[in-house]
Amino acid sequence: MSPVQTIRALARLARSRLVERPWWRWRYRHGLPPLDPELGRRMLADGDHPDWLARLERSVAAAFVPGGVPRGPASEAADAALLSAADRACAGIVEVLGSGPVSLGDPIDWHLDFTSGHRWADDWFWRLDHRDLGRPSDVKVPWELARFHEGLWLGIAYQQTGEARFAAAFAARLDSWLDANPPGRGIHWLCPMELAIRACNWIHAFTFLARAPEVGERRWARMLASLVWHGRVIRGNLEIGRHVGNHYVADLVGLYHLGALFRDSAEGRGWLRFAERGLERETQWQVLPDGVHFEQAVSYHRLVAELLLLVVPVGERLGRPRSAAYLDRLARMVEFTGAYVHPDGTAPLVGDGDDGRVLPFTPGLAPADHRHLLALGAGVLRRPDLQPPPSRGDADARWLAAALAAEAPVAPTPGGALAFPAGGFFVLRGNGCHTFLDAGPLGSEGRLGHGHLDTLSLELSAPGGIFLCDTGCLAYTSDARSYREQVSTAAHNTVGVDGLDQAELTGLWRIAADGTRPRVVAWEPGPGVQCWEAEHHGYGRLRDPVVHRRRVTFWPDARRWEVLDVLEGREEHELVLRWHCAPGVVARPTSGHEVMLAREGGALRLGSEPPLALAEGWVAPSYGVRRPAVVLVAAVRVRLPFQFRTVIEWMSIQG
């Protein structure tokens, strides 16, 4: 954005934070009124008409049901994962954030973190402490449940099978939530992002269940009334602090959907216009010119891209298409996704990741599998060149994307090395191998946010699967020790100095300062040999400042890598280079300087100078899930300068 646009955007953000939110809180300082079942109907055109529900159904279909795409492809009726998820929802069994199957009981305790036993009070949301750092608890558990993804699956299952039990289960769950969460009371009104995602799922569930007699007009009227308050709470409590991020994008997407739903009212049209303007700004502010989301976390990049994609078909159907600048920045986000995924569709575990989704039409997908985003982007943006190999995630595109992708010419799939210099990410690839390199800042705008202390780290895959990976994201507020471990430099494939991190961690998502000042020294993406070299100054705060420079050379034809880590300084320091193996990789030392890393389908021979030792570690492939993994460690205490040399070669496994 231009300087003038930036100043105007900052002024709008300041107004939301310093004027609108305090005014909203003062206006409702005594609490919100009880739910009026007629409130939502009054915001509809002809909401008092005897057949208002049919008119609402047509209005919703005009905005939210993809034109030309069958709402129930026959192939999805046989989708075992979908029907299994709907069956579990009927039985009151859920699985969220690595919890394993859990029975919710009757009635559902919507304010309970069943993983820790902590329950938040039934009070006005502005009085609640959702982090509750004084005791182990994870508010994301009840929040994830209340996003109503299961309600979406119940709706699809009902439309596909016609079985009344699915509609009845949705009706019971909706009643339970509305009874337990009157406007403004409880933990589920505290975070506008959660309201936004729940609103999207409710609206889309309606498209499948509108005429289900098991739900009926009375429940839809109550849901509509609650959605009005969802919009009002989001608009009055936008998640704007000193910085904005993925939460603010979610707020805007929620307002966009609610504005489209209530577009017959002045209030709804106001939400729609506000969200449109805000989303246009945030695509230019939060998404860097090369398509990387500025929070430096791959999982949150996926979430923001999904959020931004969801409004495109709605805008087209309403005759309010997104701008060329918006679509261009969004296309670059999807292109970056196509670059960072490993050949098996798995995303690098770089930065934080809570596995959040908006409209997961396909239950049971591995959280790190990002191919659904490529399929969705290919359809929504009419870019078939982005289409990944077939996967179950394609259902997301079938439900949401415009059915025009096949008419666009198919562009050749790019190959070889790729650079995303604004975000600081680089990819070496070819011959079934993939190396994801990080030369970006630690977070965004000098704060850690969802980034990790991981500059110059890498992930590496070859035929057989992922061999070297980041540690991932296990937990936030529920396990402070694990949070510090997952963020630390020692949890990444890079060099630590004197037992310190690349920056001083001062709290949840906070560092004292980012002094890494990463710089790419060389980038040679040639087809025969690919080379990347970068440096950082995170240890410049030491009495004897240390500079870390890493050079990675990749020979695609030979499937061979050489990694040179040079540490520059003048005095003696303790240096530790770590290589974190992916879960399932078996490490077998063949000498003090060489380790064989094997998994089904292939193996790597990793040689090191100085020698290696094996240690126990862990990797979180998804939020709340910990898997044991091997860590290769090369440790020395030497006077600088010093160099680590690591050579990695792929080997075929016969038989």
d(CA 504, CA 629): 26
pLDDT at 409: 39
d(CA 549, CA 293): 25
> Using an 8 Å Cβ cutoff, are 576 and 627 in contact?
no
Contacts of 609-617 with C-beta under 8 Å, sequence gap 24+, read 609/644, 609/645, 609/646, 610/634, 610/635, 610/636, 610/644, 614/587, 614/589, 617/471, 617/580, 617/581
pLDDT digit string (tens) for 83-120?
Answer: 888 999 999 888 887 777 888 888 899 999 888 888 89
pLDDT digit string (tens) for 189-226?
Answer: 999 999 999 999 999 999 999 999 999 999 999 999 99
User: Tokens at residue 354, please?
Assistant: 């809570």
Smallest CA-to-CA distance from 291 within 383, 380, 419, 408 is with 419
pLDDT digit string (tens) for 533-588?
Answer: 999 999 999 999 999 999 999 999 999 999 999 999 999 999 999 999 999 999 99
* Residue 188 or 403, more confident: 188
Residue 643 has pLDDT above 90, yes or no: yes
- How much of the chain exceeds pLDDT 90, in percent? 60
Across all residues in the chain, what is the average pLDDT? 88
d(CA 400, CA 153): 14
pLDDT digit string (tens) for 269-300?
Answer: 999 999 999 999 999 999 999 999 999 999 99
pLDDT digit string (tens) for 3-41?
Answer: 766 676 667 777 777 888 888 888 988 899 999 999 999
Q: Edge-to-edge strand order for the sheet containing 433-438?
A: 418-420, 425-430, 433-438, 458-462, 465-468
- The dihedral region occupied by 43, where left means phi > 0, alpha psi between -120 and 50, and beta the remainder, is alpha
pLDDT at 129: 83
d(CA 507, CA 499): 18
Report helix, strand and coil shares of the chain as percent, to nearest 5.
40, 25, 40
pLDDT at 70: 41
Residue 71 has pLDDT above 70, yes or no: no
Secondary structure (3-state) at 323: coil
Residue 402 has pLDDT above 60, yes or no: no
Contacts of 335-339 with C-beta under 8 Å, sequence gap 24+, read 335/291, 335/386, 336/290, 336/291, 336/292, 336/301, 336/420, 336/423, 336/425, 337/301, 337/302, 337/305, 337/370, 337/373, 337/374, 337/377, 338/374, 338/386, 338/388, 339/418, 339/420, 339/427
pLDDT digit string (tens) for 139-164?
Answer: 888 999 999 999 999 998 898 889 99
- Give me the mean pLDDT over the 388-407 stretch: 55
- Give me the mean pLDDT over the 170-181 stretch: 96
- Give me the mean pLDDT over the 457-478 stretch: 91
> Using an 8 Å Cβ cutoff, are 465 and 430 in contact?
no
Residue 78 has pLDDT above 50, yes or no: no
Residue corresponding to tokens 């300068």: 641
Secondary structure (3-state) at 94: strand
Smallest CA-to-CA distance from 5 within 239, 284, 294, 240 is with 284
Residue 607 makes CB contacts below 8 A (sequence gap 6+) with 593, 594, 646, 647, 648
